[in-house]
Amino acid sequence: MTLAWLIAIPLGGAVLAWLAGGFAGPWPRLIALAALALDLALALSLCWNHPLSLALPGNDSWLMRLDLPWIPRFGISLLLAVDGLSLILVLLTLVLGLVSVAASWTEIRARVGFFHFNLLATLAGVIGVFLALDLFLFFFFWEVMLIPMYFLIGIWGHENRVYSTLKFFIFTQASGLLMLLSIVALALVHQRQSGVLSFSYFDLLGTSLAPDSALLLMLGFFLAFAVKLPMVPFHTWLPDAHTDAPSAGSVILAGVLLKSGAYGLLRFITPLFPEAAAQFTPVVMALAVIGILYGGLVAFAQSDFKRLVAYTSISHMGFVLLGVFAWNELALQGVVVQIIAHGLSTGALFIIAGALQERLHTRELARMGGGIWSLAPRLSAVGLFFALASLGLPGLANFIGEFLVLAGAYQTSAGVTAVAAAGLVVAAIYALWLVQQAFHGVAPQGLALADLDAREMTVLGVMIGLVVWLGVNPQPVLNLAAPALDGLQQLANI
């Protein structure tokens, strides 16, 4: 029942935090921290207590599996399982959840209990997505995680929060319904072939499909994951959602929710539809390169700190998309590292943006006036560090992820890789421009700015440590993910 507890603990913490909101003091925040810390300890115990092996159906090679009947008449079960890939994403979710609670300690002052209820409910839904291997259950968690995120942005967001939440919900809900249609259709095809109605991932693997049918069903899954990633041209909801979300919402959105799209591409697209995915690969790799360059160039044109960072996410997740469809060992390893690196570095930049907005009451780079370095050297130095991480400085985590993706993509297409590599140059331009605009220059007369306090430095210091550790010693993460990635490649017969 360990896997069920990974979902139940944050859900229970969410309810307790909401109830504690009626009492004076920091109880909702403390409850949220305690629930996430307990869940993180439980997830870490899986690394120590279970050997890693290939994620193949029909054997006991997963780290842990739970299969209980739910709606047996329709072949739906509570099927949860964890391998190295999903465990990495669960750990990332819980770390960024703790970071989000700590980072929003002073920012959220209204309806604090309900805020932490929605934050923890979102995280519980995301963990469910990473663990569910009944496709109906996967869709259930996919939808569940959207509702509390809607409230996080709509209630505690900024100026245009109503517009941004509606746009976010419409994009993700519409694409999710397409995935549901594909899930049901795939299960019905499998029933006609086997005589058994099942939504189990293990049962649906290897289902024989006509080429046209396989392509249509794959597109239903792909569009849901591409919107969440997001991939150009389905990205337009992201800058608005990030701009108007509270700091914790932006951290969870960039560091966790976008990764559910990447996870879906890895887990479902090629393993379930290998021929259709191979046929679609040139189109997706071209769109990935467009996203890398487009996100970087448009980021350079932004004057809003959060909006600039939001567009960099589109560029960075383009590398993830490129690596997934290159579908070889190096590229897939790069995808895993890039997922973690982007979650940490971009999440930290959103925390810095929130800290600046809390102090200066603006996100506009021009209104910051430069000169922040002389007034808040710790904040500025941390901002410089994560800007350098974002541009892929060697020795930091983003460099490892992007290098491995490009090395793997080169084995598939040298031309596509050459164009994608130009994104590294664009990243250097927008990252250094951000630092220059926000932190350098002459501070306006009379401007006072508090530097990072002990709480903020602790949060960002942990993230700095993780980015450096992954940049200089990525092997433990690669070892943890390797059996699962090898298994996925074997499932796709590639």
Domain boundaries in the chain? 273-494
pLDDT at 56: 41
Read off the pLDDT band of 61 (50, 70, 90).
low
**pLDDT higher than 70, residue 51:** no
pLDDT at 444: 63
Nearest to 312 by CA among 433, 160, 482, 157: 433
The residue with greater pLDDT, 165 or 360, is 165
pLDDT at 58: 44
The mean pLDDT value for 448-475 works out to 92
Question: pLDDT tens-digit profile of 227-252?
Answer: 999 999 999 999 999 989 999 999 99
Determine the residue type at 455.
R
Task: Please state whether 78 falls in left (phi above 0), alpha (psi between -120 and 50) or beta.
Answer: beta
Question: pLDDT tens-digit profile of 282-308?
Answer: 999 999 999 999 999 999 888 889 999
**Rounded distance between C-alpha atoms, residue 293 and residue 291, angstroms:** 6
pLDDT averaged over every residue in the chain: 90
pLDDT at 445: 61
Question: pLDDT tens-digit profile of 358-386?
Answer: 888 888 887 775 678 878 889 999 999 99
**CA of residue 157 relative to chain centroid, distance:** 20
The residue with greater pLDDT, 494 or 249, is 249
Angle at 241 between CA 304 and CA 87, to 5 degrees: 115
**Rounded distance between C-alpha atoms, residue 114 and residue 318, angstroms:** 34
pLDDT at 369: 58
pLDDT at 99: 95
pLDDT at 359: 84
pLDDT at 443: 63
pLDDT at 54: 39
Q: Which residues contact 430 (CB under 8 A, 6 or more apart)?
A: 296, 299, 300, 308, 312
CB 3 within 8 A of CB 80: yes
**pLDDT higher than 80, residue 53:** no
**Rounded distance between C-alpha atoms, residue 79 and residue 416, angstroms:** 39
Question: pLDDT tens-digit profile of 26-47?
Answer: 999 999 999 999 999 999 998 8
- What are the structure tokens assigned to 113, written together? 């209990």
Read off the pLDDT band of 491 (50, 70, 90).
confident
**pLDDT higher than 60, residue 328:** yes
Integer CA distances (angstroms), 401 to 1, 209, 425, in order:
34, 34, 16
Question: pLDDT tens-digit profile of 253-276?
Answer: 999 999 999 999 999 999 999 999
Helix, strand, coil percent content, the chain, rounded in steps of 5: 75, 5, 20
Q: Which residues pair with 153 in a beta bridge?
A: none
pLDDT at 451: 86
**What letter does residue 71 receive in the DSSP assignment?**
E
R_g of the chain computed on alpha carbons: 22
**pLDDT higher than 80, residue 314:** yes
The residue with greater pLDDT, 493 or 234, is 234
pLDDT at 49: 64
Read off the pLDDT band of 143 (50, 70, 90).
very high
Read off the pLDDT band of 417 (50, 70, 90).
very high
**pLDDT higher than 90, residue 350:** yes
Q: CB 320: neighbour CB atoms within 10 A?
A: 28
Tokens 């990030």 correspond to: 242
CB 247 within 8 A of CB 353: yes
Question: pLDDT tens-digit profile of 94-116?
Answer: 999 999 999 988 888 889 999 99
